Structure 1
């Protein structure tokens, strides 16, 4: 086993209170040769098998989805994260992110089928199953012989997942459970063989997980609703699943009784960061298509790619993709390193992966929100670049926009994830895992102190941008620290304040990731070589500063009055002030002109 390289590895959420050095982050430019080969293999598969068949997916060709999934299994793509002893490839977390990234860009139907199967359909058994369960089910799931589905959501249990009414009753002889209930929005239900089902035993506080096999010739009390009519992801099989005294052997209980809620939450943590990855190649492809169209579309004897209004859109689309890549792979490598540390300490694969992902649950929620909203914005702007043609189903933008919409609901709505991110951060601080109090008190002291009149030294690469990131962190500490002090445990009742604080947290992480990626690669490859990447990092930060300013005002106004409010607003102004305001128009033009000259997103 390769020993984790020696570098400072921050705990989840510590990015807020500790400086991250650019040399300590992982970027897509750091992919190994093996990872590049895997990426290229997946891209070739998508371009050969999926992209040419987009129209068939839009016409609800569920059989094609199943066929593509079988082919993906034959090539090993379904087993990237599965240990070799269960017929998987046993690759690291970054590689699993990479495959999820590149297999998901052509259509949301395959992205959903792949994510549901490899994530919530397979990983719960891999991570929580007994050895017998793993040997029986995981190899067939890893190779695509069988497909998996995940039955958690019910008509009355969505975000409140632990409130499900599905019951599991133990037989008199103690040999099996009878499961009865209704599940809805079940991805892959139309062709799955293995269902991870959550049900409540007696009046247990928490639900319990079960592995349930389905055989169409012997349905065992299982029945299915019709395929749901959906806004997007048309060829993703989505059905209700009904259980009527479905008999499940006691040995098919997954983990321990009452452990289902924990299984569900940990599966969602993995699902959130994988969903962020699944949004990336879609952004790249949409940006590619929009750029090509803008170069080819002539109006007033000029390609529309030369118009400033279009340049602005293309630059913003590319920027969100670049920063999303930076943040997603930064977090993925942190998770992988934490997993390796635990493996080197003697932990099992399951324990190491669970704890590794759980450590960065805050970052997983941040990424889920940011990348799902970026792909929606990107597809929306893609339609706008195409103009009237973008609204037509004959072009790929229309389906991309519809497919993107579900990402803000999957794996916990973005509202839930926003509140989770701040809530988990506060809980970590209360447990002593992150020192938020000390830095927050320093910011409070700074508010009452005299600002330094010294002229800052911005001679180093991205020095002012890194200082701005540090100041945005102070804004979060100022707002969140004062809010916690005022409301204490009742903070969770103030949802709009939590949402505002979360938006600040999200922008800090995303903007810092972009700056660190640009800085690291400029140092390694040269500033001139990375000129466009630096421009994208600066452009994203500019928008982040605006968002932080708006959300901080919203938060401050909700709980502070009089002198306290005036002092915090003055501090906000100080913490969001540029010494040298960037020329945003020039940044956008620089990015867009590079896109146009390459006729594609090539960063």
Structure 2
């Protein structure tokens, strides 16, 4: 274990809002180890050989091809990256698991979904919550792709309210087995899964319980037809019906009533992995758009040279770069926290669970940001292709359809927005993140005489970092006042929570890009990071606009009179640029680099 991991102060989840993060303390993709670079190259080579050439086939609902690709991924070890070596996995760290999830997911949403469902919610609950016997029996087969896993939580009446499921588990007279009856829907991998993680309620328990259920013929398990879906056409998605399905008592996962806890923790990991699964999709969409824009000639000019197209290419590349910066920043924080807990004597399962749970806020932020960015990116990709983009003969149409599900599963983006703010408030109440002190100071600043002292803006990113500090004050001002006003009833004010979440999301994403770029400027020089500087500044410019709009919406929803006027004046002060960036020049810098390299090159 590196001294870097053990000696630097690890910020707790959500503390990015109230404590300064130094650029040398963030992890970036440029920090990948040689082993990680080799893993990235081997996954990309696998995708380019096995998946990308078959894109058309995946649109024809070829479920057998998805299963075949998954088996090959298992043979190469890609399904067992995070599984400990004693269960036939590779036992690699959290960053490496993110990296594989990132690069295996970019070519088609069908494989992204099959991979995520199997390695995450299909395998992980057993790895982290299973008994030693359960792990030895199931995990090696799942890690190698001999068996595939699926996760049965959602029901017709239980979606976002996961704990309200009606599926029942009844103990047998001899106490040796449970009989499970109920209906599950939207089950990814259902068509070829051998192992189901099933959630059911025992008697009138407050919380559901998890079970490991083998898909065996004659055991009361039947399936609906494959769902007809907007996208992810070759991802097997079916309803699963359990009719007095017998499950041995030793197949209960964790303890009775622990199912809701398992489900929530599985979703935390699922959320950050879903963010990773959107990254290479963005790179590939941007890459295809750049190549097409260079090749497509109109009015005797490649359309890549037109300002309207430069605008799109620059924005697409920027969102990909920022999403990547934030995702790997959070992944390394989680890995460091896991390693710290292992040093302290936690078991692997406990360390991983608590490590991810610590950064549940960041996981929700990333899920929302990256899923919305891939949707916007693919939408703009269609636009760059023009009429051809609307055709199924080009990759943009399927990319757009596949992207749409990302905003729904692992908790809808609306649920995740409210969770991010809700979890932050809970952390503050537990004393894990001091929001009250900084929020009180912001309140005093609003009524005091403003400081006219400015940092030395000649230093790279000095103004941007100063602006970021002030944007954090905006969140503290809005959320702090809202908590004061509504207390525990804040959760009833959903539109206010949504607006606050957007402020939080933009701060984290913008800061992550700036810190990554600053770190790389310090080691490679400013000349070699011109485009990355431009992307970081461009993203922050948009973030300021979004924060301004969302904060105003929040303030006028609960404040009146002098209080409202004071907060709106504070908002104006906190979001003010001293030197507005020339966003057209920034976009041109980014787009010119893309078109000269004829690829996504960051």
**What is the TM-score when the length of structure 2 is the normalising length?**
0.99
**Structure 1 residue 196: Cα displacement:** 0.1
Match runs of 1:131-530 below 5 Å = 131-215=132-216, 218-530=217-529
Determine if contact 2:455/2:466 at 8 Å carries over to the other structure.
Answer: no
| Structure 2 Cα separation of the partners of residues 27 and 161 of structure 1 | 35
Determine if contact 2:455/2:462 at 8 Å carries over to the other structure.
Answer: no
* Structure 1 residue aligned with 2:87: 86
| Structure 2 Cα separation of the partners of residues 337 and 454 of structure 1 | 37
| Structure 1 Cα separation of the partners of residues 229 and 306 of structure 2 | 36
Q: Which runs of 5+ in 2 are unaligned?
A: none
| Structure 2 Cα separation of the partners of residues 318 and 572 of structure 1 | 30
* Structure 1 residue aligned with 2:27: 26
* Structure 2 residue aligned with 1:51: 52
| Structure 1 Cα separation of the partners of residues 420 and 280 of structure 2 | 25
**Structure 1 residue 2: Cα displacement:** 4.8
| Structure 1 Cα separation of the partners of residues 476 and 163 of structure 2 | 32
* Structure 2 residue aligned with 1:6: 7
| Structure 2 Cα separation of the partners of residues 137 and 570 of structure 1 | 60
Q: Does 1:38 align with 2:39?
A: yes
| Structure 1 Cα separation of the partners of residues 234 and 218 of structure 2 | 24
1:410-453 C-alpha deviation (Å, 9 max, x unpaired) = 10000000000000000000000010000000000010111123
* Structure 1 residue aligned with 2:71: 70
Q: Which runs of 5+ in 1 are unaligned?
A: none
Q: Does 1:555 align with 2:554?
A: yes
**Structure 1 residue 219: Cα displacement:** 3.2
Determine if contact 2:6/2:340 at 8 Å carries over to the other structure.
Answer: no
| Structure 1 Cα separation of the partners of residues 35 and 448 of structure 2 | 53
1:186-209 C-alpha deviation (Å, 9 max, x unpaired) = 000000000000000000000000
| Structure 2 Cα separation of the partners of residues 50 and 219 of structure 1 | 35
**Structure 1 residue 458: Cα displacement:** 1.2
SS at 1:209's partner residue? strand
| Structure 2 Cα separation of the partners of residues 169 and 5 of structure 1 | 48
* Structure 2 residue aligned with 1:592: 591
SS at 1:578's partner residue? coil
**Structure 1 residue 512: Cα displacement:** 0.3
| Structure 2 Cα separation of the partners of residues 512 and 361 of structure 1 | 18
Bigger shift: residues 268-277 or 450-459: 450-459
Bigger shift: residues 448-457 or 265-274: 448-457
| Structure 2 Cα separation of the partners of residues 462 and 306 of structure 1 | 29
**Structure 1 residue 455: Cα displacement:** 4.1
Determine if contact 2:81/2:96 at 8 Å carries over to the other structure.
Answer: yes
| Structure 2 Cα separation of the partners of residues 449 and 485 of structure 1 | 20
1:50-82 C-alpha deviation (Å, 9 max, x unpaired) = 000011100000000000000000000000000
**Structure 1 residue 8: Cα displacement:** 2.2
**Structure 1 residue 5: Cα displacement:** 4.3
| Structure 2 Cα separation of the partners of residues 220 and 520 of structure 1 | 57
* Structure 2 residue aligned with 1:112: 113
**Structure 1 residue 9: Cα displacement:** 1.2
| Structure 1 Cα separation of the partners of residues 450 and 471 of structure 2 | 16
Determine if contact 2:222/2:242 at 8 Å carries over to the other structure.
Answer: yes
**Structure 1 residue 40: Cα displacement:** 0.2
| Structure 1 Cα separation of the partners of residues 437 and 470 of structure 2 | 16
* Structure 1 residue aligned with 2:544: 545
| Structure 2 Cα separation of the partners of residues 219 and 461 of structure 1 | 67
Runs of 4+ in 1 over 6 A off after TM superposition: none
